[in-house]
């Protein structure tokens, strides 16, 4: 725990980084997983969005090394984008985005400290937003956003 400024990047890396277990979840073998939105967007993509939240000081004075203990309550966005060529409505792309989101939600529910990340007390899905992006000549696109609550105690 010592020396951790924030768990924002560490949590994003644990969920979406190069060695993320999300890459091996059943049903996601063909889904691209990226730390952030890549330049070339594949048909099915899971990527990280904004991380923001409050930090509350848990002490008035720092301990050894001068670091002040604090509680961090962040929200990390995980976006799931699905494009289905040839579709005339977003019904199928919505359903696929929800299917991918359910696999991610199950993973986080079964791993609430993100592999015992230093200082991580709890990671949990706190909100979901489904945006039917729309239909154009290329097909239908949907985006599901999972809002992940990250509660940490850092020193």
Q: Where are the domains of the chain?
A: 8-154
Using pLDDT thresholds of 50, 70 and 90, give the confidence band for residue 1.
Answer: very low
With 80 as the cut, is the pLDDT of residue 64 above it?
no
Fold observed for domain 8-154: STM4215-like (3.30.2000)
With 70 as the cut, is the pLDDT of residue 62 above it?
no
pTM above 0.75, yes or no: yes
Backbone phi, then psi, for 90, in 5-degree steps?
Answer: -90, 10
pLDDT digits (tens, 9 = 90+) for 121-151: 999 999 999 998 899 998 999 999 999 999 9
pLDDT digits (tens, 9 = 90+) for 73-110: 999 999 999 999 999 999 999 999 999 999 999 999 99
Q: How much is the mean pLDDT over the chain?
A: 90
Backbone phi, then psi, for 83, in 5-degree steps?
Answer: -120, 130
């Amino acid at each position: 725990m010592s020396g951790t400024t924030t768990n924002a990047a560490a949590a994003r890396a644990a969920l979406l980084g190069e060695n993320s277990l999300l890459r091996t979840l059943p049903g996601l073998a063909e889904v691209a997983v990226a730390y952030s939105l890549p330049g070339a967007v594949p048909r099915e993509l899971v990527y990280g969005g904004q991380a923001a939240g409050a930090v509350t000081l848990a002490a008035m004075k720092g301990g050894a090394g001068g670091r002040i203990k604090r509680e961090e309550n962040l929200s990390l966005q995980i976006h799931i984008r699905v494009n289905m060529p040839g579709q005339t409505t977003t019904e199928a792309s919505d359903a696929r985005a929800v299917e991918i989101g359910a696999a991610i939600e199950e993973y986080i529910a079964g791993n609430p400290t993100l592999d015992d990340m230093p200082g991580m007390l709890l990671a949990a899905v706190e909100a979901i937003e489904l945006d039917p992006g729309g239909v154009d000549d290329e097909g239908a696109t949907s985006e599901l956003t999972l809002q992940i609550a990250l509660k940490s105690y850092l020193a």
